[in-house]
Chain A
Amino acid sequence: MVQTDKVLDAKGLACPMPIVKTKKVMKDMGSGEVLEVQATDKGSTADLQAWAKSSGHEYIGTETEGDVLLHYLRKDGANEVEETIEIPEVSLADFQARVENGDSLNILDVREQEEYDEAHIPGVKHIPLGEVENRMNELDQNQEIYIICYSGRRSGVAGDMMAKKGFKTLYNVVPGMRDWTGKTE
């Protein structure tokens, strides 16, 4: 499950209504916020993917609950990819070696709450990607920070946002928790 900022009930509506309603709701949302669109129109999956692509939003994915499709979209998510600052990457193996060596690292985990609850590296700072923009001031811009997510994609996005706001030394751990074999809590 993705943490959502807004839910749109488009159940029972036929094409093109789910798209039209999504467009209207999305207009009033903030950049980076996540919208959950509940729809029963089976064409809505392909439609919303195409719509997100052409309107610069990120299509996160779709889950199915009975007959209802739950689509997740992040506002303006795709635009940020165009002008990204790519922060340097560090391999998971090197990163893990340093963690296990007892180096005191500042680690930022940007996965969703549920993923974090399931398992995370002990002592990490947790800010879901959707909140990074507003909460990055909880971190020190001048410190070295290792950003991690599940695969390395979201951590890259977070790194890009933070680098733009003046964070000096950021590393993207690639891949991420997907292949982490070290200690968790």
Chain B
Amino acid sequence: MAKKTAIIASNGGLFEAYKVFNIATAAAASDHEVSIFFTFEGLNLIHKEANQQLPMPEGKEHFEEGFKKSNVPAIPELIEMAQDLDVKFIGCQMTMDVMGLEKDAFVDGIEVGGAVTFLDFAQDADVTLTF
């Protein structure tokens, strides 16, 4: 049976985005079944507009050049790749309600669910990560 990787993304910065999507795509490429639960600021990572310009942590802006030099793919590119590899995105319903966001503000193909939706997937996951 395929291994399962469950990720919780709860922060909205550029660094978190790379942590989440790099691990997710690498796991999916290794034939893991992958689900990411986006909650609170983590929702920025899949927000159509917000994810184009995720902030660097304060004082770390000088890394921008390093990202360019290392030819690191842009976040929207990584998202496309992740979805291509069947990574499942779950947006947190409660956070969306609190922030007044609708499903169509996010990249296509996401599911919206509550904590239980994620727990159901995560309960027998082989790898569980929180970012």
Contacts and interface: CB of A to CB of B under 8 A. Distances in A.
A14 B29 contact: no
What DSSP secondary structure best describes chain A's contact surface?
helix
Given A15-B22, A20-B25, A20-B81, A55 B72 contact: no
Interface string B70-91: 1111000000010001000000
A13 interface: yes
B2 to A, nearest CB: 11
B26 A55 contact: no
Q: Which of A19, A47, A50 has the largest count of B CB atoms less than 10 A from its CB?
A: A19
A38 B3 CA distance: 28
Contacts of B73: 14, 17
Interface string B22-33: 100110011100
Contact size class for A? 10 to 19
A54 B71 CA distance: 26
A16 interface: yes
Contact of B85 (A14, A20, A54): A20
What DSSP secondary structure best describes chain B's contact surface?
loop
B81 A13 contact: no
Contacts of A14: 70-73
A20 B85 CA distance: 9
Q: Which of A12, A19, A20 has the largest count of B CB atoms less than 10 A from its CB?
A: A20
Contact of B30 (A15, A17, A55): A55
B30 A54 contact: yes
Interface in A42-65: 47, 50-51, 54-55
Contacts of B81: 20
B31 A19 contact: no
A16 B29 contact: yes
A16 B22 contact: yes
A17 B85 CA distance: 12
A22 B31 CA distance: 12
Contacts of B25: 16, 19-20
Nearest to A22: B29
B77 to A, nearest CB: 9
Nearest to B73: A17
Q: Which of A13, A16, A23, A54 has the largest count of B CB atoms less than 10 A from its CB?
A: A16
Contacts of A51: 29-30
Contact of B71 (A12, A20, A23): A12
Nearest to A56: B31
Given A14-B73, A51-B29, 18 more contacts: A13-B71, A14-B71, A15-B22, A15-B26, A16-B22, A16-B25, A16-B26, A16-B29, A19-B25, A19-B26, A20-B26, A20-B29, A20-B85, A23-B29, A23-B30, A23-B85, A54-B31, A55-B31
Kindly list the 7 A-B residue pairs having the minimum CB-CB distance in the complex, ordered from nearest.
A23-B29, A16-B26, A14-B72, A20-B29, A19-B29, A14-B70, A54-B30
6 contacts: A15-B22, A16-B26, A17-B73, A19-B25, A23-B85, A50-B30
